[in-house]
């Protein structure tokens, strides 16, 4: 199959947009070239280009197209309009099934002609998060000014222009030219295939694949660090960003002045990352090393002496600013900053950060009793938790919220538990973060997130669709992880009610607050699904269940999953579903059949055996559930498998005798009700 290569060469593309642009290019090309059956599509993205190569058919085959016209007997005016639209006479039409039909032959179209026809429109509607206009004479937009279009099919240029009517399309015309590195090998060069394109650009100091640049950056930095017995602090996001900034990555190490090593390691790392895209290093014992790493986009003639010196000078200025904030902030205690929180708006309907802090102090005291943490420390950590928002360091680096509060609390002489809780209040920030285990830290983390959830739901700011501007889904997952990984036995509904009592007047009984337990339940199912566990088991034990003790719910779900993985469990599930299906049909006739079955009406041993089993199993399951012996409860329930199977094998439920039929339906109804004590088996998949 012929090979198609397309490269869109522009000014520097923001790193965060490159990967999605490559995906969009493949998607749009696959759709536009569908008649040519594209295969083996591969994208390449970089700072100045997005490209794609794929194999396609040589032609779009000819075909017969049928166009349905007016009905037979339609007015002449309608028929004339149809023929005029298609440029034919009435003789070209035939009658089929009461309609006038035009059948016309579409000739085969070469791949080159098809590409030239669809590419201009594809580029004009290419989706960028932000795009710009430049120059004069064209309304064509791109993320940055587009300079060249390369389009080659089987070694030959596919000529097309972006001009459209009076719009000159910036005079962009497809050709076979690409460009090398802006500084190391500037200028245009012709290529004739994807392989030659890759090799030619590599020879001109351009790595076209983002994966190759990431690998080069990672291996280069690790080699340099290892040569000095150091380690690069892992930062995959920064590696991805830098790979989108350079075409020919060249790593270097620089020196950090000793005078700045007293700064907190997090301050140095964030300052380097945010301002300069530098990598932090650490010693083998995990402490911050007086070195930093960076990636250049050139090969310096002096082995990097000048470029390293320049970057050290820049970093020196950045760290001098950070040290200024560090010194100034510590002159004022966190406690003295409390009043300033009243002038920081949290939300128009929810008051200031000071109002929020007072709610959190109250909630932390409530949670402390439930978790078994020292109440005074929990309330003090909540009181000081947001004060670092008023510091210069957090104002400069918002990423350091909480972390700086912990350092400043320690400097102020607050208890170690309080300082630790303040520094850990926002963890876990993501799925890869560890969860705090210190009791005061756990209480503060819960108080922060629960207040957010309750407050924003009460204010009508719950997430909708993909929109979640206040990060409430993340907050809910944080609550769940804090509870699960610390094995906390909490009644969340009660906690939500208590938290809502501190909200501003008019919001304490907001209707959206009733949606919060279900919101937590949905997030719990999302987390369970992400872990690869059976979320349908969690759904099954959650139906008609007002229990919000996450630990208990998960224990029940796990026990149910274990039971369903046994042979008895699988057969019991099938038999229970069969009983439920029979009842659903028969209840429509003369149900419901929820009365107690009469043992005197049993005529077969299998009926009595099932009834006796229920008499034994049902109280045992209820007892085990009350004691939270969920595995034992499932084992008891699984023992119903044999008598229930035998019942269905031998007993005719819909017996001709009305009294026998009704009694047997009541017996099945009792089976289904008993099983619903365990779970709603209709939620189980498979």
646-652 mean pLDDT: 92
**What's the length of the chain?**
686
pTM over 0.85, yes/no: no
Give the residue among 31, 32, 16, 248 at the shortest CA–CA distance from 143.
16
Q: Are 131 and 249 members of one domain? A: no
pLDDT tens digits, residue range 41-64?
Answer: 999 999 999 999 999 999 888 877
The helix (H) or strand (E) run that includes residue 552 is helix 550-564
Q: Are 220 and 179 members of one domain? A: no
> In this predicted structure, what is the pLDDT of residue 592?
87
Residue 335 is assigned to a structural domain of this protein: no
Question: What does residue 363 show for φ and ψ, rounded to 5 degrees?
Answer: -65, -40
33-47 mean pLDDT: 95
Domain boundary among 183, 204, 225: 204
528-549 mean pLDDT: 81
Q: Are 117 and 176 members of one domain? A: yes
CATH number, domain of 383, equals 1.10.3210
Q: Are 70 and 55 members of one domain? A: no
> In this predicted structure, what is the pLDDT of residue 538?
86
Q: Are 665 and 569 members of one domain? A: yes
Residue 546 is assigned to a structural domain of this protein: no
Q: Are 513 and 621 members of one domain? A: no
Q: At which residue do the structure tokens 């001109």 appear? A: 204
Q: At which residue do the structure tokens 């739901």 appear? A: 457
- Give the range with max mean pLDDT: 403-412, 550-559, 596-605: 403-412
What is the share, in percent, of the chain residues with pLDDT greater than 90?
A: 73
Checking if the pLDDT of 415 tops 70, the result is yes
Q: What is the number of structural domains in the chain?
A: 5
> In this predicted structure, what is the pLDDT of residue 27?
96
**Which burial class, exposed, middle or buried, applies to 587 when counting CB atoms under 10 A from its CB (0-12, 13-18, 19+)?**
middle
Residue 257 is assigned to a structural domain of this protein: yes
> In this predicted structure, what is the pLDDT of residue 540?
83
pLDDT tens digits, residue range 368-400?
Answer: 999 999 999 999 999 999 999 999 999 999 999
Q: Are 507 and 366 members of one domain? A: yes
> In this predicted structure, what is the pLDDT of residue 515?
92
641-651 mean pLDDT: 91
Domain boundary among 47, 79, 106: 106
| Helix 550-564 with 535-542: angle, nearest 10 deg | 120
Q: Are 180 and 268 members of one domain? A: no
Residue 144 is assigned to a structural domain of this protein: yes
Tell me how crowded residue 131 is: count the other CB atoms within 10 A of its CB: 12
pLDDT tens digits, residue range 223-268?
Answer: 999 999 999 999 999 999 999 999 999 999 999 999 999 999 999 9
Checking if the pLDDT of 141 tops 90, the result is yes
The helix/strand/coil state of 222 is: helix
Could you tell me the CA-to-CA distances from 295 to 179, 206, 217, 228, 305 in Å, in that order? 22, 15, 7, 18, 14
State the Cα–Cα distance between residues 642 and 604, nearest whole angstrom.
16
Domain boundary among 204, 237, 261: 204
CATH number, domain of 622, equals 1.10.730.10
pLDDT confidence band for 310 (50 / 70 / 90)? very high
> In this predicted structure, what is the pLDDT of residue 149?
97
470-490 mean pLDDT: 95
Residue 231: both structure tokens together: 């380690």
pLDDT tens digits, residue range 418-444?
Answer: 999 999 999 998 888 899 999 999 999
Residue 138: both structure tokens together: 């064209």
Residue 554 is assigned to a structural domain of this protein: no
Residue 686 is assigned to a structural domain of this protein: no
Residue 685 is assigned to a structural domain of this protein: no
> In this predicted structure, what is the pLDDT of residue 412?
97
Q: Are 503 and 586 members of one domain? A: no
> In this predicted structure, what is the pLDDT of residue 686?
64
Q: Are 347 and 460 members of one domain? A: yes
Could you tell me the CA-to-CA distances from 101 to 70, 105, 380 in Å, in that order? 8, 13, 82
pLDDT tens digits, residue range 483-510?
Answer: 999 999 999 999 999 999 999 988 998 9
SS (H, E, C) 284-351: CCCCEEEEEEEEECCCCCCCCHHHHHHHHHHHHHHHHHHHHHHHHHCCCCCHHHHHHHHHCEEECCCE
Q: Are 245 and 372 members of one domain? A: no
pLDDT tens digits, residue range 64-102?
Answer: 778 888 988 888 888 889 888 888 888 888 888 889 898
**Can you give the residue range of the structural domain that contains 282?**
210-330
Residue 547 is assigned to a structural domain of this protein: no
Q: Are 31 and 149 members of one domain? A: yes
Checking if the pLDDT of 125 tops 70, the result is yes
């Amino acid at each position: 199959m012929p090979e198609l290569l397309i490269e869109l060469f522009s000014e520097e593309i923001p790193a965060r947009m490159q990967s999605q642009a490559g995906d969009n290019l493949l998607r749009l090309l696959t759709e536009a070239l569908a008649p040519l059956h594209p295969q083996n599509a591969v994208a390449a993205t970089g700072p100045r280009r997005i490209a794609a190569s794929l194999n396609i058919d040589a032609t779009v085959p000819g075909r017969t197209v049928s166009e349905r016209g007016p009905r037979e007997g339609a007015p002449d005016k309608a028929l004339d309009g149809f023929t005029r639209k298609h440029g034919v006479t009435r003789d070209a039409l035939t009658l089929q099934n009461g309609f006038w039909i035009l059948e016309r032959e579409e000739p085969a179209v070469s791949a080159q002609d098809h590409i030239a026809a669809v590419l201009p429109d594809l580029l004009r509607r290419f989706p960028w998060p932000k795009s710009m206009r430049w120059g004069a004479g064209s309304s064509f937009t791109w993320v940055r000014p587009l300079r060249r279009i390369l389009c080659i099919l089987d070694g030959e240029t596919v000529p097309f222009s972006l001009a459209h009517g009076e719009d000159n399309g910036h005079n962009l015309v497809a050709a076979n030219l690409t460009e090398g590195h802006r500084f190391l090998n500037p200028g245009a060069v012709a290529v004739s295939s994807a392989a030659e394109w890759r090799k030619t650009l590599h020879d001109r100091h351009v790595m076209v694949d983002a994966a190759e640049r990431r690998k080069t950056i990672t291996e280069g930095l690790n080699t340099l660090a290892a040569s000095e017995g150091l380690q690069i602090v892992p930062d995959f996001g920064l590696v991805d960003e830098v790979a989108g900034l350079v075409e020919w990555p060249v790593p270097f190490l620089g020196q950090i002045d000793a005078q700045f090593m007293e700064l907190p390691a997090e301050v140095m790392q964030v300052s380097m990352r945010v301002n300069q895209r530098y990598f932090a290093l650490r010693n083998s014992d995990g402490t911050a090393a007086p070195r930093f790493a960076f990636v250049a986009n050139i090969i310096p003639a002096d082995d990097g002496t000048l470029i390293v010196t320049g970057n050290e000078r820049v970093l020196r200025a950045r760290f001098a600013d950070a040290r200024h904030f560090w010194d100034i902030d510590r002159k004022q205690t966190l406690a003295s900053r409390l009043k300033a929180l009243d002038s920081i708006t949290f939300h128009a309907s929810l008051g200031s950060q000071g109002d929020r802090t007072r709610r959190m102090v109250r909630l932390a005291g409530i949670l402390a009793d439930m978790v078994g943490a020292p109440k005074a420390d929990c309330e003090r950590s909540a009181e000081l938790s947001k004060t670092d928002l008023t510091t210069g360091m957090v104002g400069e680096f918002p990423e350091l919220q909480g972390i700086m509060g912990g350092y400043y609390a320690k400097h102020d002489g607050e208890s170690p538990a309080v300082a630790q809780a303040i520094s850990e209040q926002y963890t876990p920030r993501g799925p890869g973060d560890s969860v705090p285990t210190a009791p005061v830290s756990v209480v503060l983390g819960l108080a922060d997130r629960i207040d957010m959830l309750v407050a924003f739901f009460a204010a009508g700011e719950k997430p909708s669709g993909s929109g979640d501007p206040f990060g409430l889904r993340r907050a809910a997952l944080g609550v769940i992880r804090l509870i699960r990984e610390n094995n906390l036995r909490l009644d969340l509904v009660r906690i939500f009610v208590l938290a809502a009592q501190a909200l501003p007047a008019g919001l304490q009984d907001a209707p959206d607050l009733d949606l919060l337990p279900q919101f937590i339940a949905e997030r719990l199912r999302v987390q369970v699904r992400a872990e690869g566990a059976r979320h349908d088991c969690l759904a099954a034990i959650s139906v008609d269940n007002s229990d919000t003790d996450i630990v208990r719910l998960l224990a029940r779900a796990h026990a149910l999953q274990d039971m369903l993985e046994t042979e008895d469990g699988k057969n019991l599930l099938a038999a229970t579903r069969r009983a439920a299906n029979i009842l659903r049909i028969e209840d429509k006739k003369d149900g419901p059949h929820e009365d107690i079955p009469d043992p005197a009406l049993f005529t077969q041993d299998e009926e009595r055996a099932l009834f006796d089993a229920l008499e034994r199993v049902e109280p045992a399951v209820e007892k085990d559930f009350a004691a939270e012996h969920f595995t034992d409860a499932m084992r008891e329930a699984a023992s119903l498998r044999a008598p229930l199977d035998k019942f269905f094998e031998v007993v005719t439920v819909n017996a001709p005798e009305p009294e026998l039929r009704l009694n047997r339906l009541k017996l099945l109804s009792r089976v289904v009700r008993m099983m619903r004590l365990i779970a709603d088996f209709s939620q189980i998949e498979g």
